[in-house]
């Protein structure tokens, strides 16, 4: 399966999630930045509020694109311990990378949310959306962080990902919806005609478009955690 762009992927994903349309207490959380255009299409089709859930990948020292784990809001840290041991990454290296990414996580939360509170997830169906999976470390961190907030159900929804990663996430989330699991996988961008980087400006625009229904939806927090 080849997607024209993230918006097209979101429309395709929304059709696979149609059973959640107009249900009460559904919230769509996008992993920024690339997950936001996908999630906006999903949220619009399902008539559900949209928000962001900030997760930061922990890249190997000197090889940022190679994930050794991820962190998420709420102090959640997920590490790929077998890979870390295999490549001899020290606890000090992990700590340094995590400290840098935690600072960036806080910066992005302030940037994207401003003074708006996080949504209350207690008792809600949470649909976590990204533009694709690779190692799955970022999504695993997101699932673990959301789980601490006592949702009724966690659904991971992505256009594409490796079969093994989807299987691993199925053990953590209540449901995983992945439209394509091609083998060999290689990289998420190979399954998009246009995979240009999503900008902060695009994130702001898409969140603003969804803000009114989000703030009027039941269960939205009135104060920050």
Residue pLDDT, tens place only, 29-42? 999 999 999 999 99
- DSSP class of residue 118 equals P
Within a domain: 70: no
**Domain span holding position 198:** 6-54+116-216
CATH number, position 200: 3.40.50.2020
Within a domain: 92: no
Domain count, the chain: 1
Sign of the four-CA dihedral 128, 134, 137, 140: positive
In the chain, the percentage of residues whose pLDDT exceeds 90 is 66
Does pLDDT of 81 surpass 50? yes
Name the residue among 154, 145, 146, 156 with its Cα closest to residue 125: 154
Within a domain: 176: yes
Q: Average pLDDT of 78-90?
A: 89
Within a domain: 185: yes
pLDDT tens digit sequence for 149-167? 999 999 999 999 999 999 9
Torsion of CA 155, 157, 161, 165, to 10 degrees: -10
pLDDT tens digit sequence for 128-153? 999 999 989 889 999 999 998 999 99
Element (H, E) at 82: helix 81-86
The pLDDT, as a whole number, for residue 80 is: 86
Query: Mean pLDDT lowest for which of 74-88, 96-110, 188-202?
Result: 74-88
Within a domain: 66: no
Within a domain: 75: no
**207 Cβ partners below 8 Å, 6+ apart?**
36, 50, 51, 52, 112
Which strands form 50-52's sheet, in the order they lie side by side? Answer: 50-52, 26-30, 125-129, 153-160, 175-180
Does pLDDT of 220 surpass 60? no
Within a domain: 26: yes
Within a domain: 21: yes
The pLDDT, as a whole number, for residue 117 is: 84
């Amino acid at each position: 399966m080849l997607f024209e762009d993230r918006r097209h992927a979101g429309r395709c994903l929304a059709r696979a999630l149609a059973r959640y349309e107009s249900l009460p207490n559904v919230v769509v959380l996008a992993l920024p930045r690339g997950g936001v255009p996908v999630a906006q299409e999903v949220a619009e089709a399902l008539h559900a509020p949209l928000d962001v859930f900030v997760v930061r990948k922990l890249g190997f020292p000197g090889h940022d694109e190679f994930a050794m784990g991820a962190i998420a809001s709420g102090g959640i840290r997920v590490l790929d311990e077998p890979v870390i041991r295999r490549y001899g990454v020290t606890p000090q290296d992990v700590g340094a990378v995590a400290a840098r990414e935690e600072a960036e996580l806080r910066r992005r939360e302030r940037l994207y949310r401003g003074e708006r509170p996080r949504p209350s997830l207690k008792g809600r169906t949470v649909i976590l959306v990204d533009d694709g999976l690779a190692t799955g470390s970022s999504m695993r961190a997101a699932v673990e962080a959301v789980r601490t907030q006592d949702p009724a159900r966690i659904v991971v929804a992505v256009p594409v990902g490796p079969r093994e990663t989807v299987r691993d996430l199925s053990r953590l989330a209540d449901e995983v919806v992945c439209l394509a699991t091609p083998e060999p996988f290689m990289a998420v961008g190979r399954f998009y005609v246009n995979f240009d980087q999503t900008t902060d400006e695009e994130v702001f625009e898409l969140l603003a478009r969804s803000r009114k229904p989000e703030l009027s939806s039941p269960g939205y927090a009135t104060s920050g955690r």
